[in-house]
Amino acid sequence: MVYFFAVGESIAAVPGRPLFEIIFSTRVLNQYVGDTGVVFYNRPVSQNDLTITHVPSGIYLDFWQSISLSHSGRSTNFGNEIEYYAGWAGEIAGIGVDAGVAYFDLITLFNMPGGDVIQPYIELNKKFDVAEGHTLTPYVRAEYGLPAKGNARELKGLYVHAGLNHDWQMSKDVSVSQKAAIIFDDGAYGADRAWVGAYEISPSHRITDWLSFDLSGKIIGPLTNVTDGRKMELIGGGGFSVNF
């Protein structure tokens, strides 16, 4: 699962600004680890993301896909997953807001709605320019999952994130993004109740105006004692981003 917005300015119609913005990214990771440190799939995956934003309104659609590089298709593992998002990102009273609802198509794929999850979410953030080329964006985010069918406890869950993004534009074509976060997991999806810490760094090199090469490294793990097998995990990978 991914975040695709950290809004610090309002989105409004501007002369010369495109009506729609389309961003596509693809990357290969050594494993698929969720936002609270749960290992969903411990083998390499390809993860692809397509976001289409109506720029004047801030309304967006996002399609995210994980593909197991060893067992692709409609297999019964979390390496193969599709997530659909519909939301709005903008600014209210000087505070960035990203809110919407997600639908997680889990194992087995396209067997909707059995075994799937609906997850509303909201994020509040504020962007600060702290030095030339440096911005800091503190944020809080809440997500609550509900089973798309039935009332299974293992398909319910609350996550609350609090974190800080640091973006550094090192040069015209090279940038680095960092994110440190603490996540409260209220026993979501059958896991133990826990506090989780995470740090991620993502350097990027712009090859052309529309194409970038990206790397990523992340460390995540529980900060409190758990009995569900979660431990410190290292996730690394790289890929490309295309911006239209």
Q: Could you tell me what percent of the chain has a pLDDT over 70?
A: 91
Name the least confident of 116-120, 141-145, 186-190, 200-204: 186-190
CB 40 within 8 A of CB 79: yes
Query: For 26-44, how does the pLDDT look when each residue is reduced to its tens digit (9 = 90+)?
Result: 999 999 999 999 999 999 9
Q: Give 15's pLDDT tier (boundaries 50, 70, 90).
A: low
CB 28 within 8 A of CB 238: yes
Residue at 87 is within a domain: yes
Residue at 3 is within a domain: no
Residue at 223 is within a domain: yes
Cα dihedral 87, 40, 81, 188, rounded to 10, equals -40
Give pLDDT, residue 9.
Answer: 38
Residue at 4 is within a domain: no
Q: Give 73's pLDDT tier (boundaries 50, 70, 90).
A: low
Residue at 8 is within a domain: no
What DSSP string runs through 164-213?
EEEEEE-SSSEEEEEEEEEEEEESGGGPPEEEEEEEEEEEEEESSSSEEE
Give pLDDT, residue 16.
Answer: 65
Residue at 220 is within a domain: yes
Query: For 102-129, how does the pLDDT look when each residue is reduced to its tens digit (9 = 90+)?
Result: 999 987 777 788 789 999 999 999 999 9
Q: Name the range with the highest mean pLDDT among 53-62, 63-72, 141-150.
A: 53-62
The structural domain count of the chain equals 1
3-state DSSP assignment of residue 80 = coil
Report d(CA 168, CA 242) in Å as an integer.
20
Beta bridge partners of 225: none
Residue at 13 is within a domain: no
Q: Give 244's pLDDT tier (boundaries 50, 70, 90).
A: confident
* CATH assignment of the domain containing 114: 2.40.160.40
Mean pLDDT along residues 215-244: 96
Q: Give backbone dihedrals phi and psi of 23, rounded to 5 degrees, phi first.
A: -125, 125
Question: What's the one-letter identity of residue 85?
Answer: Y
Structural domain for 162, as ranges: 20-243
Report d(CA 165, CA 160) in Å as an integer.
16
Residue at 11 is within a domain: no
Query: For 146-169, how does the pLDDT look when each residue is reduced to its tens digit (9 = 90+)?
Result: 998 887 777 788 999 999 999 999
Give pLDDT, residue 2.
Answer: 44
